[in-house]
Amino acid sequence: MTLSVIILAAGQGKRMKSDLPKVLQPLAGRPLLGHVLDTAKSLQPHAIHVVYGHGGEAVKQAFAGETAQSAQGQPHDPSSGLIGASQPQTNWVLQAEQLGTGHAVAQAIPSVPDDHMVLVLYGDVPLIRRDTLQQLIAQASANALGLLTVILRDPTGYGRIVRDTGGSVARIVEHKDANTKERSIAEGNTGVLAAQAGHLRRWLGNLRNDNAQAEYYLTDVILMAVKDGVRINTVIAATEHEVLGVNDKVQLAEVETALRKERATQLMLQGVTLADPSRLDIRGAVTAGRDVFIDVGVVFTGNVHLGDRVHVGANCWIKDASIGADTEIHPHSVIDEAVVGKRCVIGPFGRLRPGARLHDEVHIGNFVEVKKSELGEGSKANHLTYIGDATIGRHVNVGAGTVTVNYDGVNKWPTLIEDGAFIGSGTMLVAPVKIGANANTGAGSTITADAPAGKLTLGRARQVVIDSWERPKRAAPKPKK
C-alpha cells in the first residue's frame, strides 16, 4: 500500500511568546518541523503534505531548499512494506482558519488518493521515532486503523483512550470534555494515527464541532471507525518524550534535554567516553572511532567524524569536520568545515575556518586562525598567527605573530611557503608571495617579494634613535575657583 504523510504545522504557538512561528523554534540547531520532516522522509512516502497557517511564507521559506518537489517511483524501503519514493514530493497546504485538528487534516486529504495509507504527524512533536511509526503503519490496513497512544504520569491536557470491557478502543475523549472517571485514565492519545485515505475522507466529512472547544477534533474519527467496524489497533510509545508536543519554552528545553541524552547515549554505545553526557550538544550527526574522549561543553553541528583516539577538550565547537586519528584538540577551539589529519594538535583557542586542511602531525596553537589554507605534514604555527589563502609545505615553522596579508580591499591573494621554511616571529607576508624551500625570514620582517630558497630574507625598516625626543606631558590642571 502506498504511504502519504500529513504533517499538521499550522499552530501559532502563543505560549512561546516569540515572533518566530512555533514549528520554526530551534531544537538542536534545527527547526521543530525539520525534525518531523526528516523522520517522515525516512519512511520513504509517496508524498508529504504539510498543513501550515501561522507564519505562512516564513515556514515554507525555511524549508524551500529541502522540500522541493522531486521525482517519484524511486526504490522503496522494503522494511516499511509500503511503496514510496526516496525523495518524496512535498506539498504545502494552507489552513487559513485554525478550526481544529480534524479541520487541518481535511485541508490536505483532497490531494491523497483513496487507496493510500495516511500517516498523520505533528510539526511540534519532534522526537517521534521511525521504528515507532513503522510499527504503527504495520497495524493499519483497509480494515484497521493504527493509533499511537502513551502511558502518562500526568495525563492532564491529553485526550484519554476509553476502552470497552474487552480492552478494545471504544473512543477518545478530550480532557476538557472528560468526566472525573475518564480523567483518571493514564493512557493518553498522541494524535498520531494511520488510516486508509478513503475511510479518513468519509469520517472527516462527518465531523461536528459541538464540543467544549467548538473545534473539529481528529480524535472523533475513532468512534466513527468503531461504528463502521474498522478495528483500532494501538501501539504504545516507549517514552513520553517521544510524543511530547512542544507548546512553550519549558517544553522546548525538555525535549532538547531528552534529545541531548539520546544522542549522547548513542555515542557512548559506539565506545566514546564522555566526561559528562549532560554537557554535550550534538546538532547534527557524529561518527567516532575507538577510544575517543570528549570533555564537557563540546558542541558538534552538521556532520562530524572523529577518528580513533581523538581527544576533544572542553568547550570546543566543531562543525562539518573530519578529525584524524590520535589528534588532540585543546579547550576552546573552533573547527568549521575543515579536514584535520592524524596526530595533529590544535589549540587551546585555535580556530580552523572553512577550507582549512591540515595534513598529519600539524600543530595549530593558541590564538592561531587558519582559513582556506593547506598545511603540510609536520608544519607548525603555535602562537598568535593568521594563515589565510595559503599553501604551506612540509615541516614549516611559522613564528608567533605572523600574518599572511592576503586581502587588498577587493581581492584575496595567495601565499606559498615551501618545505622546510622558517618564518620568523612578527613576519608580515604580503601576498601574492612565495617563500622558497628551507628559506628563513627574519623576525619583524615585512616580505613583499618572493624570498629565495635556502636564504635569509629581511624586510625591516632601519632602526633610528631620536636623542632630542621627549615624552609628551599633560598640562597641569587649572586650580578650581
Q: What pLDDT digit, counting tens, does each position of 8-41 carry?
A: 999 888 999 999 999 999 999 999 999 999 999 9
% of the chain beyond a pLDDT of 70: 96
Q: For residue 150, which of 258, 239, 36 has the smallest C-alpha distance?
A: 239
Chain mean pLDDT for the chain = 93
Using the predicted structure, report yes or no on whether residue 69 has a pLDDT greater than 90: no
Q: Give the integer Cα–Cα distance in Å for 226 and 246.
A: 30
Q: Catalytic annotation on 383?
A: yes
Looking up cell 587551546 gives 348
Distance from C-alpha of 115 to C-alpha of 112, rounded to nearest angstrom: 8
What residue type is 9 in one-letter code? Answer: A
Checking if the pLDDT of 288 tops 60, the result is yes
Other beta carbons less than 10 A from residue 20's beta carbon: 15
Mean pLDDT over residues 359-383, rounded?
98
Beta strand pairing status for 169-173 and 160-163? antiparallel
Copy the grid coordinates of residue 178: 472528560
Residue 213 sits at φ, ψ, to 5 deg, of -95, -10
Residue with cell 591540515: 358
User: Taking residues 204-228, what's their average pLDDT?
Assistant: 92
Active site residue: 175, 241, 305, 383, which one?
A: 383
- pLDDT of 181 > 50? The answer is yes
Question: Count of CB atoms within 10 A of residue 409's CB?
Answer: 4
pLDDT at 195 over 80: yes
Q: What is the pLDDT of residue 82?
A: 56
Secondary structure of 157-185 in HEC code, one letter for each residue: CCCEEEECCCCCEEEEECHHHCCHHHHCC
Domains of the chain in start order, with CATH, are 3-243 (3.90.550.10), 268-457 (2.160.10.10)
Helices vs strands, H then E, count in the chain: 8, 36
